[in-house]
Structure 1
Amino acid sequence: MTGVAAAARAVLLTADPLEKVRAARRVARDWRLGRIAHRFDGPPLPARPARPERPELRRPGEMPKRGKGGSAAGRLALLHALAHIEFVAIDLAFDLAGRFGDQFPRAFVDDWFAVGADEAMHFALLDRRLRTLGSDYGALPAHDGLWEAAAATADDARARLAVVPMVLEARGLDVTPQTVARFEAAGDQTSARILRRIAADEIRHVGAGTRWFLWHCDQAGIAPVAEWQTLIRRHFRDGLKPPFNDSARESAGLTRDYYSCLAANRN
């Protein structure tokens, strides 16, 4: 029977976007049905997932300015960027389960395989929307910052949880309400509905990251807020960008005592 790490590795090594969606859903289903063993043997997970030929990947600072989604082209660019985030998030979830699952109870794999299936669904919704609007995933360049964050935390479960779900995914909670409003103002209710659905799921995802970060700190006898702030100062030396969606963050267990003192001064 395939183990957790091998199942996660299979998703990570799938390059084609639609095949990755299918692989993610299949692994999550097989885990729920008891067809995957709670085992972490086999070859190591890849340092970098397989990627399709498109989109062209650039460093974050090399990306063209998208604007704020006021024009039709700007909204397409925004949907493409969000699709890319969800595509990479599939790998982030399965990498978390396969790379660090042996440090946690079985429920950790339950959570992150389920998150990976959610991210696959999110990507499929956005990819379908792009196609409906005459574009597709890969039509524009995308940045590789999310996986750079994963690579920087590949040897530290607490750092990965602190940086990926509790900062990068939490940032999505902050910006989605304004993004939804832009699509609604442009009369694109379909895209707005997709983003609202994704945002509701992301609260659960940030919540899973926060819960397991707390669990890991408790096992090590470490104060979680102080540890989180130490890790974020290490990885985000310029501070975290406000404004913050405090209510959505609190719904995920990520309260202001974690991040308020790390807010970047924007004056």
Structure 2
Amino acid sequence: MNSPTLAPNSNSTLTTTLPLELREQALFWLAEPDARLKAQGVTAMRAAYLDRQLALNTEADLSCAYQIPGRPARPELVAPLDVKRRAMNTPEGRASLIHALAHIEFNAINLALDAVWRFPNMPEAYYQDWLQVAQEEAYHFGLLADHLVTMGYQYGDFSAHNSLWELAEKTQGDVLARMALVPRTMEARGLDATPALQAKLAQAKDQAAAEILDIILRDEIGHVAIGNRWFGFLCEQRQLDPITCFAELALQFRAPVLRAPFNVEARLAAGFTPAELSAMKIA
């Protein structure tokens, strides 16, 4: 079922009509290649859902006719080790860091949208949670992309890597694996990395960027908590021990090895238990 309403920007390369069902529309925006338009569309989608303009079919096993995720022609995607490192004491170096963070947030929009459309038969609250995450990631992307403009650059001006989405592809067959390894591993790593990045930006006297990271850290604690919540729900539903299950999935899917430093306070705030952190050799 489609709405005759135009997409927010007629430059979209996709159809100009929007599905009136939430998960179908999440797939629509996942496939949108324009980063700014994707962020705007996700924000409008959540507002429409909260205003009860979109239905939610939790049972539909949706097929995908699009190439996903939609992404712009730039940035050029390279292997993680091939991403150029630039000195933070130069304007270009600081811009490359902001660009890397913006790319993470762009990927995070896609990850949240994928969690909404891909997995059927979850409670309604699951879809509401990941819709919220998608909208907040879109907000973060906008903040970083706008700040990049003030520095004389655009999103796409530096190379980037795709490891975050690659783990999403590996876990597309099971919502349990997705909840275990994307929010609780990759996104939780952001909780660990943010304080050091904030210190570097503050030292470089980029207070605006440091304040953006304050917002992102606050929201990302909530996003990791959502991953923890649904991982716990699925473990209970399948009668699995969360600690054992996580270790087995990390091994099976070759999740990145966790390395210090760790933001234990933020991880606890995001719902990791002391026993889980001990098993991960974090605390």
Q: Quickly name the TM-score band, shorter chain normalised.
A: over 0.9
Partner of 1:234: 252
Partner of 2:150: 132
Amino acid at match of 1:132: T
Query: Does 2:74 align with 1:81?
Result: no
Which runs of no fewer than 5 residues in structure 1 stay unpaired? Answer: none
Identity of aligned pairs, percent?
39
Query: Does 2:82 align with 1:65?
Result: no
Which runs of no fewer than 5 residues in structure 2 stay unpaired? Answer: 2-19
Query: Does 2:169 align with 1:151?
Result: yes
Q: How does 1:235-250 map to 2 (within 5 A)?
A: 235-236=253-254, 239-250=257-268
Query: Does 2:218 align with 1:218?
Result: no
1:3 and 1:41 in contact (8 A); partners too: no
Change in Cα spacing, 1:46 to 1:249, as seen in structure 2 (3 Å) is farther
Partner of 2:12: none
| Residue 237 (structure 1) shift | 6.1
Query: Does 2:24 align with 1:6?
Result: yes
* CA distance, structure 1, for counterparts of residue 121 and residue 142 of structure 2: 31
Change in Cα spacing, 1:153 to 1:237, as seen in structure 2 (3 Å) is closer
* More divergent stretch after superposition (224-233 vs 58-67): 58-67
* More divergent stretch after superposition (203-212 vs 178-187): 178-187
Could you list the runs of 4 or more consecutive aligned residues of structure 1 that deviate by over 6 angstroms after TM superposition?
Answer: none
Structure scoring higher RCO (CA < 8 A, sep ≥ 6) equals 1
C-alpha RMSD of the superposition: 1.8
More helix per residue: 1 or 2? 1
| Residue 185 (structure 1) shift | 1.1
Write the deviation string for residues 100-138 of structure 1: whole angstroms up to 9, x where unpaired: 1x2321001111001100000000000000000111100
* CA distance, structure 2, for counterparts of residue 65 and residue 128 of structure 1: 22
| Residue 66 (structure 1) shift | 4.1
| Residue 59 (structure 1) shift | 2.2
Change in Cα spacing, 1:146 to 1:45, as seen in structure 2 (3 Å) is farther
Taking structure 2 as the reference length, what is the TM-score of the superposition? 0.87
SS of the aligned residue for 1:221 comes to: coil
Match of residue 186, structure 2, among 163, 168, 172: 168
